[in-house]
Chain A
Amino acid sequence: MLKKTILRVVSKFLIPFVLIFGLYVQWHGDFGPGGGFQAGVIFAAAFILYGLIFGTALLRRVLPSKVTRSFLVIGVLLYSGVGVFGIIFGGEFLDYSVLARDPLKGQHLGILLIELGVGITVAASMITIFCAFAGRSPNRLDEF
């Protein structure tokens, strides 16, 4: 853990805003610039900042590898799951129009869920990569 008081106070102050901004980019991706990938990176940046200042041990207490690992999987499965739902409801793979009664609403819902899947996986993999490189554990495998 770094002993610099300014860094610690400022980063603690900043982290919630970074998280909020990440969520903003995530949910407004369909109206403005943004989307799952950018949001995931910003969201992960908050955790990586925390890890840089307070050490990866504390970061791993906030987000154990079990959690990041499951989010890695959930994101991918959410994305492909939405695609499969398209098939089940009688459309093609990734056809969002069939997800709701109104095709327009379906498209909206579909892209939102897909981007959420992207965001979750990107954030989780960013944090995992950071921990794998910065972690002290002799066995890198613990990070997955």
Chain B
Amino acid sequence: MIIKHLAIIQVILPLMAAPVCIVIRHHVGVKIWAVLISWLSFLISIALLVQVSDQGLIVYQLGGWAAPWGIEYRIDILSAFVLLIVSGIGAVVMPYSWTSVEKEIVHERAYLFYCMILLCMTGLLGIVITGDAFNLFVFMEISSLASYVLISFGQDRQALVAAYRYLIIGTIGATFYMIGVGFLYASTGTLNIFDLSQLVPALSASRTVKAALAFFTVGLGIKLALFPMHMWLPNAYTFAPSAVSVFLAATATKVAVYALFRIVFTIFGGTEILEILPIRGLLIGMAAMAMIYGSIQAIYQINVKRILAYSSIAQIGYMVLGLSFDNATGIAAGIIHLFNHALMKGSLFMVLGAVMYRVDSVQLNDMAGLGKYMPLTMAAFFIAGLSLIGMPLTVGFVSKWYLIQAALEKGWWPIAMLIVISSLLAVVYIWRVIEVVYFMPANPEAREVREAPISLLLPTWILLGAVIYFGIDATTGLNIAIAAADALLAGGGS
């Protein structure tokens, strides 16, 4: 009986668990509770992925109301895959946050932190799972509001400014999305994504529908921090508590990328609008600029968290680039990069959380010579950094290989060149950190630093294990990504 309801349980489990945190209130109890919930939610998403790959599409109608009128949850292979990313990262971040939160957030606030991170997870899972454009907006607000609060937990006073700025910009993004939904509703009278995909092709000449597509692209572009709309991201990631940086960097932008392409492909995929309005070309242009701009900015930062934040902007460029190619290889590359980047960036930010725990700073200068005193932590940074650059035997290689292959398939060799250049820039910024960590003499106070506690190291290395495992055994992930790409290209029928 429970199998039938897994789709809804995936969302309501963290939703109902969040208020319970406020009842438990004691920091130890809350921590255990959050870990339990996140693991359970991970198991559910695995079960959903298995179920989808066995039987295909899962449809769940809330309250038993039939689809275009009621809200339905719709899980295809792509959404099941993204669900797995979100809940998987959640399952690793929760135990990681035990030690990290203890250090960075006062005990009395720990329960609020866990309440918020569970709500954020609810929102992200909901965006992925829902088949209703308005419901997607509601979940987007849940996850965004929770993440504003999470960022403001940062120790630095600037965290408040960063959270406030994210709040203003994020709200504009959500409003734009909402205007898009409004336009589509005005011209079709439905909010169901599948239903929209059936009705929109007949209206592709309508100016309202075109305006809707423009609003969707800009609104979600802000949410996923696509190049000229990325200004909120570096500060938000830099000043947030370490565990929050890990969680948001690994999941929030990925889910926004998912939402953008769910809208673009599923609703507008079958129409000529994508030919009339050159959205794809626009996205490719912005993605290419993001790749170069993000990487160059990352080179000039002196705060390592900031380096990674700018690198995220570049990596988001890769995902959008892949998904904007209208061939299956490119889309598969984009989808697999969602997964791979979550693993790599997650483990890199986890390393910085461990450094924060021991050194109280993630400034580049303060990390001098740490390779000697925190060997396991820094080895993790080294390997994840290599993956970010795109070394073979790590996941980074798989995504770049497919991305370049897709560009060459289309004959766009300048794009392929840009990918290579951006990777070379990644070598520069990762090497800057590696050089300071391994080849500079340690500061006098750094000589006291010991290896990070096992509670931080273990989750980091688990994620890193996945970076290496899926780099060697790339077929598992790729098969899912290719199936998802085919489903996306098939448009609304999926």
Contact = CB atoms under 8 A, between A and B. Distances in A.
Contacts of A76: 15-16, 18-19
Interface string B5-31: 100100010011011101100000000
A73 B20 contact: yes
B63 A86 contact: yes
A132 to B, nearest CB: 12
Interface in A37-87: 69-70, 72-73, 76-77, 80-81, 83-84, 86-87
Interface string B114-152: 000000000000000000000000000000000000000
B282 interface: no
Given A77-B16, A83-B12, A69 B63 contact: no
A73 B63 contact: no
A86 B109 CA distance: 34
Q: How large is the interface on A (under 10, 10 to 19, 20 to 34, 35 or more residues)?
A: 20 to 34
Contacts of B363: none
A118 to B, nearest CB: 14
A93 B19 contact: no
B16 A92 contact: no
Interface string A86-106: 110001111111000000000
B444 interface: no
B264 to A, nearest CB: 29
A87 B63 contact: no
A10 interface: no
Highest count of chain B CB atoms <10 Å: which of A81, A83, A91, A93? A93
Contacts of A83: 8, 12
A77 B22 CA distance: 12
A9 interface: no
Contact of B63 (A81, A93, A141): A93
Contacts, number: 52
Contact of B60 (A86, A92, A144): A92
Contacts of A91: 63-64
Nearest to B15: A80
A128 B276 CA distance: 51
Nearest to B73: A93
B290 interface: no
B327 interface: no
Given A94-B63, A95-B64, A87 B23 contact: no
A77 to B, nearest CB: 6
A96 to B, nearest CB: 7
B20 A92 contact: no
B127 to A, nearest CB: 18
A93 B7 CA distance: 10
B125 to A, nearest CB: 14
Given A87-B5, A141-B108, A141-B109, A93 B12 contact: yes
Contacts of A95: 63-64
B334 to A, nearest CB: 32
Interface in B396-427: none
Contact of A73 (B5, B23, B64): B23
A92 B12 contact: no
Contacts of A72: 19, 22
Interface in B1-60: 5, 8, 12, 15-16, 18-20, 22-23, 60
B29 to A, nearest CB: 15
B63 A80 contact: no
A93 B9 CA distance: 9
Contact of A93 (B5, B18, B22, B109): B5
B112 interface: yes
Contacts of B63: 86, 91-96
Contacts of B440: none
B61 to A, nearest CB: 6
B62 interface: yes
Contacts of B60: 92-93
Given A80-B12, A80-B15, A93-B5, A73 B22 contact: yes
Contacts of A81: 16
B56 to A, nearest CB: 20
Given A76-B16, A93-B60, A94-B63, 8 more contacts: A72-B22, A73-B20, A84-B16, A92-B63, A93-B12, A95-B63, A95-B64, A144-B112
28 contacts: A69-B22, A72-B22, A73-B20, A73-B23, A76-B15, A77-B19, A80-B12, A80-B16, A84-B12, A84-B16, A86-B63, A87-B5, A91-B63, A92-B5, A92-B8, A92-B61, A92-B62, A93-B5, A93-B60, A93-B62, A93-B63, A94-B62, A95-B63, A96-B63, A97-B64, A141-B108, A144-B22, A144-B112
Interface of A: 69-70, 72-73, 76-77, 80-81, 83-84, 86-87, 91-97, 141, 144
Q: Which 3 A-B pairs have the closest CB atoms?
A: A94-B63, A73-B19, A93-B8
Interface of B: 5, 8, 12, 15-16, 18-20, 22-23, 60-64, 108-109, 112
